[in-house]
A and B are shown apart, each in its own frame.
Chain A
Amino acid sequence: MKKRIFFSILFSTILLNSSCSLEDKYAPINEYANIDLSQVPFTNLSDYGFFTGDMNALIPAQGIYPYSLTSPSFADYSTKERFIYLPEGSHMEYQGDFNTLSFPIGAIIIKNFMYYNDIRDKSLGRKIIETRLLVRKETKWKPFSYKWNDDQTEAIRLIVGGTVTASTIAQDGNLKEITNYVIPRELDCRTCHNLNEEMTPIGPKPANLNRPTIDDLSLNQIEYFVEEGILSGVPTTINQIPNYLDSSLDPITRGKAYLDANCSYCHRQGGTANANGLYINWDYEEEGIHTGVFKIPTNFNAPGFQYDIVPGNPDESILLYRMTQTEAPAVMPQLSRSINDDIGIEIIREYILNLE
């Protein structure tokens, strides 16, 4: 298999254009959102003061920084809008391209899940379903979950989870009806947000953040963080995990990017599925059985199958089979998908076809 070649195309300098500043775009409308950590979790999302004006517009207050990922995971065709809150005067630290940034105590990662009526034209409106928080408490991260009301005016903490229905017109122009969108229970968060026995954020690692900012495509997001003084220790060059939706990429690269975003939070060393010995994170550089090739799964009997991946033969590969299932226990990923990711299935089919 040709694995190492992927890395050769990934080095890109991040200090591309420092002439532009986002200062005005994210200028404070009100005062710094000083959040009293001892009062967290609040019952109402509005009590945090993350957003100014109508809360559902998700316009960040001072101290709340929007960000996005190169390669976001699939979650039933929902759209995720992400923010980071940092206590005034604090900053994040770089810990390696593929490691989650180090956050100061009191930091909060804010992830809003919503459905646009038509993702191709956001002006046609949207409905926010839920907001998930990861709060950096004194000793550990804690998850808190908020469900938005129908009027889109408030979100109330919901420990016990639930299900809602939703629909959206996806990028392919097709209407996607999600009859069983699952808001996880707070205890379920740990299942994915888990590394080496600690709760952890997944997305905000430099190789995922190495992309333009949301509103200014000429400004690199990491550069923006550094300029704002909220990120330190960044080297001059950083790897990038590319967007798996980019069809100009070769099928192996696309497949690896997809697996990293959608599977590797569990299927990596130290992840929740560590025991299974399947490591499909982007930065796992070894070849052989741990990549899934000719690997017998440890705790799943796939009817008619033998191995996680049979190179060149997607239809005999359990990895692809489980992506096409929606029921327990075969469905993968286990917690974030109730309908198939049609594009993802094609990406992984091509990936396995092109493995040698």
Chain B
Amino acid sequence: MKVTRLLQLFFILSIIVIPSCDDNDETVEPGEILESSLISFEAATFSEDEFIIYLTEEPNGKTLSFGPGTYSFTNTIPLADIDNLTIKGSGINETYFDFTNSTSTTGEGIAALDCSNLLFCGFTVQNTNGGNGITARNITGLRFDAVGVVWPETSSDNGAYGIYPVESDDVIIENCYTQGGVDAGIYSGQNQRVIMRNNVMMLNVFGMEAENNIDVEIYGNEYTRNTVGLLVYDNAGVSRIKSGSNCKVYNNTFTNNNETNFANLGSSLAADVPPGFGILYAATSALEITGNTFVDNECGGIIGVAYFLVDFNFDPNADSTFTFLNDDVYIHDNSFSSGGGIYNVAGILDRPAGPLVWYTFALNGNVRPDIFLDQQDYTDGGAPYAGTRAVIEESSDVVILEANFVEAANSVVHITSTSLDDFAGTGVAHTNFDLVDTPSDCEE
């Protein structure tokens, strides 16, 4: 079957050098629908140009299937204006799309734009030349199932993000593996209805980042040996979703996220963060964090700050639609454990926000917190920028440290609470949402 299809293709190509197509010219023989929608490629005979021609001519409704092995690409794989497409490998550890020889000027592995019902499954993208592993913009119905994005070396030249869906609806990212992302292994930005579950992220700056989304569930993931495990925050000045909300982070494991930050010091938040946190959240609304296990994250399981610590020059009056403080954060029933001690002091002090963290710990008698919070009272020049305290329900041995970072730019920090009693209240629970599922036929 696979060989036949390829022979057919070669035959066609040999007659018509450049196949032409027409919008209305769908020739599907009766009873052949399933067969003709499956196009198979083998590593030994793979031609990048043939693949690009398939994607150009009539990709709608196709399943493009790749056998085991390594497929070398010289440029980004472009997907545009496609309805219903599956790109399917033989397994996350079987099929590799390698971009070592790519001369793409975006540096991306796969770039999808304005599509619906896209499914990626069972392959690993590796060694993109400085861009994201898979970028997906404006997709309705998007699923990544058992997809890897890997940069084997921990280098500042790696791509920023492994899996990067943005401005999309109904996004599922599951059973994926990312390593080496210089910003985040898995990212979700300005999306509505997102589930990220059962993924493994290792040796990225952020393991995962959820930015300006509405309706998110993050569960069953393993964040191990990143600089920081998970970032949930809102970025100012973006487009589709100014202020994210309704994110639930539950039943994840955050282990030993203490790696020295390998991003170049620069313009991204990722470049600013010191190592040692399980979850960092900032400037977000309606975030519930529960049932997670935090092990040996040296600076604390959870740190929550206002946007001012992301950007000291931020003018809160610049965009009235942007919520720069955290609202309705509910942290409860998590498990924190640590072998104690802070191991990566050099790594912490190496980053802009590091000395602040370090200084605050020192103020607190070098007691490492499990939960480390910004008090969020940014009363400034008579303008009250006062946020709400998180509601926290944790066992009595959980160590809390809350500080007022108002004058943090001048290294003036006041510790405002170390008592769980100050965080009692009625937490706002996550609101369930209905995600339109893009079916996965990724099973072998």
Chain A residues closer than 8 Å to B56, beta-carbon distance = 159, 185-187
A318 touches B190 (CB 8 A): no
A307 at the interface (CB under 8 A from B): yes
CB contact under 8 A between A274 and B239, given known A299-B164, A329-B107, A329-B130: yes
Give the segment of A77-85, A116-124, A188-196 that binds chain B: A188-196
Chain A residues closer than 8 Å to B271, beta-carbon distance = 301
Complex CA distance for A249 and B364, rounded to whole angstroms: 59
Complex CA distance for A288 and B138, rounded to whole angstroms: 25
- Closest B residue to A331 by beta carbon equals B105
Chain A residues closer than 8 Å to B235, beta-carbon distance = 296, 298
- Closest B residue to A180 by beta carbon equals B103
B49 touches A197 (CB 8 A): no
B318 touches A159 (CB 8 A): no
Complex CA distance for A299 and B268, rounded to whole angstroms: 8
CB distance from A300 to the nearest CB of B (A): 7
Chain B residues closer than 8 Å to A269, beta-carbon distance = 239
A264-298: contact bitstring with B at CB < 8 Å (1 yes, 0 no)?
00000100101111100000000011100011111
CB distance from B85 to the nearest CB of A (A): 13
A190 touches B114 (CB 8 A): yes
A335 at the interface (CB under 8 A from B): yes
A326-356: contact bitstring with B at CB < 8 Å (1 yes, 0 no)?
0111110011001000000000000000000
B396 at the interface (CB under 8 A from A): no
B267 touches A302 (CB 8 A): yes
- Closest A residue to B106 by beta carbon equals A334
A160 at the interface (CB under 8 A from B): yes
- Closest B residue to A336 by beta carbon equals B105
A170 at the interface (CB under 8 A from B): no
Give the segment of B14-22, B249-257, B282-290, B298-306 that binds chain A: B14-22
B190 touches A156 (CB 8 A): no
Chain B residues closer than 8 Å to A299, beta-carbon distance = 132, 160-161, 164, 183, 189
CB distance from A48 to the nearest CB of B (A): 13
A289 touches B265 (CB 8 A): no
A194 touches B114 (CB 8 A): yes
A173 at the interface (CB under 8 A from B): no
A272 touches B137 (CB 8 A): yes
Chain B residues closer than 8 Å to A302, beta-carbon distance = 266-267
CB contact under 8 A between A304 and B266, given known A43-B16, A185-B78: yes
Chain A residues closer than 8 Å to B2, beta-carbon distance = none
Complex CA distance for A334 and B106, rounded to whole angstroms: 6
B244 at the interface (CB under 8 A from A): no
For window 209-249 of B, CB contacts with A under 8 Å fall at: 211, 235-240
Chain A residues closer than 8 Å to B428, beta-carbon distance = none
Complex CA distance for A328 and B76, rounded to whole angstroms: 11
Q: CB < 8 Å: which of A38, A138, A140, A274 contacts B240? A: A274
Complex CA distance for A331 and B266, rounded to whole angstroms: 16
Complex CA distance for A137 and B105, rounded to whole angstroms: 30
Chain A residues closer than 8 Å to B78, beta-carbon distance = 185, 187-188, 190-191
B311 at the interface (CB under 8 A from A): yes
B267 touches A328 (CB 8 A): no
CB contact under 8 A between A275 and B267, given known A199-B81, A328-B105, A328-B130: no
A130-169: contact bitstring with B at CB < 8 Å (1 yes, 0 no)?
0000000111101000000000000011111100000000
B434 at the interface (CB under 8 A from A): no
Complex CA distance for A222 and B52, rounded to whole angstroms: 39
Chain B residues closer than 8 Å to A327, beta-carbon distance = 105, 130
CB contact under 8 A between A289 and B318, given known A274-B240, A301-B160, A301-B182: yes
A305 at the interface (CB under 8 A from B): yes
> What number of A-B contacts does a CB cutoff of 8 Å give?
162
Chain A residues closer than 8 Å to B236, beta-carbon distance = 289, 295-296
- Closest B residue to A186 by beta carbon equals B56
A159 touches B53 (CB 8 A): yes
CB distance from B383 to the nearest CB of A (A): 18
A277 touches B266 (CB 8 A): no
A304 touches B264 (CB 8 A): yes
Chain B residues closer than 8 Å to A43, beta-carbon distance = 16-18, 20
Complex CA distance for A343 and B263, rounded to whole angstroms: 32
B52 touches A159 (CB 8 A): yes
Complex CA distance for A40 and B24, rounded to whole angstroms: 12
- Closest B residue to A302 by beta carbon equals B267
B90 at the interface (CB under 8 A from A): no
B422 at the interface (CB under 8 A from A): no
A301 touches B190 (CB 8 A): no
CB distance from A121 to the nearest CB of B (A): 32
A7 at the interface (CB under 8 A from B): no
For window 59-110 of B, CB contacts with A under 8 Å fall at: 75, 78-81, 104-108
CB distance from A1 to the nearest CB of B (A): 13
B202 at the interface (CB under 8 A from A): no
Chain A residues closer than 8 Å to B106, beta-carbon distance = 328-329, 334-335
For window 30-76 of B, CB contacts with A under 8 Å fall at: 48-49, 52-53, 55-57, 75
B23 touches A138 (CB 8 A): yes
B240 touches A197 (CB 8 A): no
Chain B residues closer than 8 Å to A331, beta-carbon distance = 105
Complex CA distance for A298 and B107, rounded to whole angstroms: 17
A301 touches B137 (CB 8 A): no
A137 touches B23 (CB 8 A): yes
CB<8 Å pairs between A and B, sample of 9 = A190-B114, A275-B167, A276-B239, A290-B237, A299-B132, A299-B189, A301-B160, A301-B270, A329-B159
Nearest 10 interchain pairs by C-beta: A328-B107, A303-B264, A301-B268, A190-B80, A187-B78, A289-B237, A329-B107, A329-B130, A277-B238, A157-B18
Residues of B whose CB lies within 8 Å of any CB of A are 16-18, 20-24, 48-49, 52-53, 55-57, 75, 78-81, 104-108, 111, 113-114, 129-132, 137-138, 156, 159-161, 164, 166-167, 182-183, 189-190, 211, 235-240, 263-271, 310-311, 313, 315, 318-319
